[in-house]
Amino acid sequence: MTGKPSFQVAEEPDRETLIEFMRRYYAFDGHGFDDEKARMALTKLLRDPNLGRVWLIFDGAEPVGYVVIRFGYSLEWLVRDAFVDEFFLLPDYRGRGWGRATMAFVEDAARALNVRALHLEVVRQNAAALQIYGKLGFKERQSTLMSKWIARDSSTPALTLLKRGHYTLTSPLALEMECPYPR
């Protein structure tokens, strides 16, 4: 392990590496994973820089994780904002300052992209991440992030995944929402 991470904007040829990291991240965080749909969504993001950015995290020449931000614009915050949509490091790189260094990089890169507010979502069970993000200056807001799957087609990702037996549904709300990757 080198002393610190380096970062590279991901491109389409990096897709297989990213898909493998995504698979591992979703398993770690308790999300369902559909390879075909993940590839489609990732390819769209990699092809359209207006949606956000994906960076691979490297130890020397070896990829050891990835981080994704997606762009938005907030009237409440009065600025262009971004969500840290996904962030994964291989287990050997956790608890060694690599997450902190990655988030510092993300903040600098986001500023360079005219992002003025950065948000993220953490599953409540991930106490270590909640503590680290708090130390990095992220504050819990007195609001609840709520989601609703609004696609009108009959092949909603959640139902497709359930039919294929790709995961066990852990929340009745997830089925009601028919979201792509319920917890």
Three-state SS sequence of 36-50: HHHHHHHHHHHHCCC
pLDDT score at 172: 35
Every domain range in the chain assigned CATH 3.40.630.30: 6-145
pLDDT score at 155: 52
Give SS3 for 131: helix
Question: What pLDDT digit, counting tens, does each position of 126-162 carry?
Answer: 888 899 999 999 999 888 888 898 988 755 454 444 4
**pLDDT at 54 exceeding the cut of 90:** yes
CATH class of 6-145: alpha beta
CA distance 124 to 141: 14
* pTM greater than the 0.85 cutoff: no
Give 162-169 contacts, CB < 8 A, sequence gap 24+. Answer: 164/34, 166/32, 166/33, 166/34, 167/32, 167/33
pLDDT score at 162: 42
